[in-house]
Amino acid sequence: MSTNDPRRTRIAELNQAIGHRTLVWFGIRGEDAAPLLALDAFGGSFSVTSQLGSATLAATRDLTLEGSSGVRVDLDRYDLDFDPSAAAEIFRNELVSALSTDCVLVTYRPSRFTSDLAFSMEDTLTLAGMYKDRQLGFEHKPWVETRLAGRGIRTLDWGYVADARRSIAVRRLESGPLVLRANRDSGGVGITLVKRPEELEECWPTQSDSFVAVARYLEDAIPVNLSGCVFADGSVSCHPPSVQLIGIESMTSRPFGYCGNDFGLVKDLTPSALDNLQDMLLRVGSWLHDERYLGAFGIDALVRDDDVYFTEVNARMQGSTALSAQIAQRLDFPDLVLDHVAASLRLGMGYQPPTLREWVSMQPDVSHLVVHNSLEAQLVNVAGDPDIVGSERWTQDPTDLTVDPGGVLGRLIWPDRITCDGFSICDDARLTVDLRRANFAEAEATICV
């Protein structure tokens, strides 16, 4: 295959592989599906939140659950598989209807619902992704990190402490603050920083497992996010890296809550750190392939000087996917979503992807900030669409919706670096967010007016 225009070649390959079938997206955010608009067969976007909003899709094929329910949920806690509401049932039925002819279904992450559809509708449906039960093991962090540590990948040296033996964690506190982590989490849910023994009881994660992961808190480290795609032959494509935004005050109520990505600050990492991250990405991808994983994945890591520490693998697409895909498109490379569909349809990688060093040298200084409802009350937008000032812009606007605690109030696209460390944002961005927040009021107070 020619590598002169790898993105155009990838699109042509996918058009041929999908053929007469309809391509349908099912995910948590509609805008993550934007790369699929480049494919001839794309015919439907179904998401929990944030409509894709494409003029090329019929209104009945660009649906969100929140459009039916009127409520924007906390995506880090919500699971359609366990939603018995009437709105969820209507949404599921609409998706089934869209899949009633020959189709390919692309998912942000596997679910039991889509896996069941793949089995029960195998005469018409091709699932471009993994089955939930096969993917579930990759979400169990202790299993993943112990296997990777056995392959020489540097982790945070998590210790696993039984609920009944918390005194072990108390003793470890003598050496400094600890991070407590549930064994399955998303978006920073279930991760807590503990500095004093009396905080252990209050902060101990509640979960079905009978033990909790404990590690020392690594200070002065930069949180970095990587993304890649595993192909059937074991090759791994690399995509734009970023500094992850974590636990920013007033953007989330969670100490380690996900708040976005900065694709500019990552350029300040040393060449050795970038090479070490590249090695980690390829080695994790190789392990995933050995475990029969296929498709998009992400890695969270901590970087201090030249040293890199693996923190977790995301066996799915990520919050960084949409902006990463826009960067790849701007640079005429296949993005993570297109690579994921190709890998799921058993196409080869077929091109030489940039290394992390190469991505960093090419990608623009751009960021996005995900602003959550950090209050314990539901909020509503009382001032309409956000004002646009300068070159920044808002997406994921919750128009005519009630936003649950933890739900997204908006996503700010910032045309520059937005952080200096991953745990704070620049004053101008904070002012922009404060102005945006002024548009929201508590739902009950609004209803009473």
Percent of the chain residues past pLDDT 90, beyond the cut = 75
| pLDDT reported for residue 447 | 43
What is the per-residue pLDDT for 186?
61
The 10s digit of each residue's pLDDT in 304-320 is 999 999 999 999 999 99
Residue 205 has pLDDT above 60, yes or no: yes
- Topology annotation, domain 157-216: Dna Ligase; domain 1 (3.30.1490)
Sheet holding 22-29, edge to edge: 62-64, 42-49, 22-29, 103-107, 125-128
Q: Which pTM was predicted?
A: 0.92
C-alpha to C-alpha distance for 191 and 138, rounded to whole angstroms? 18
Confidence grade of residue 207 (pLDDT, cut at 50, 70, 90): low
To the nearest whole percent, how much of the chain has pLDDT over 70? 93
- Examine the pLDDT at 449 and tell me if it is beyond 60: no
pLDDT, average across residues 186-206: 72
Residue 448: pLDDT band (50, 70, 90) is very low
Mean pLDDT lowest among 166-175, 309-318, 348-357, 429-438: 166-175
Asked if residue 169 has pLDDT above 90, the reply is no
Q: Distance (Å, rounded) from C-alpha 310 to C-alpha 399?
A: 38
Quick one: pLDDT at residue 446? 44
User: HSE of 159 in the Cβ direction (CA atoms, 13 Å)?
Assistant: 17
Residue ranges, CATH 3.30.1490.20, the chain: 157-216
Averaged pLDDT score across all residues of the chain: 91
Q: Is 15 exposed, middle or buried (0-12, 13-18, 19+ CB in 10 A)?
A: middle
Cβ pair 387, 266 in contact under 8 A: no
Q: Give CA–CA dist 10/82, Å, rounded.
A: 36
210-261 per-position pLDDT tens digit: 788 888 888 889 999 999 999 999 999 999 999 999 999 889 988 889 999 9
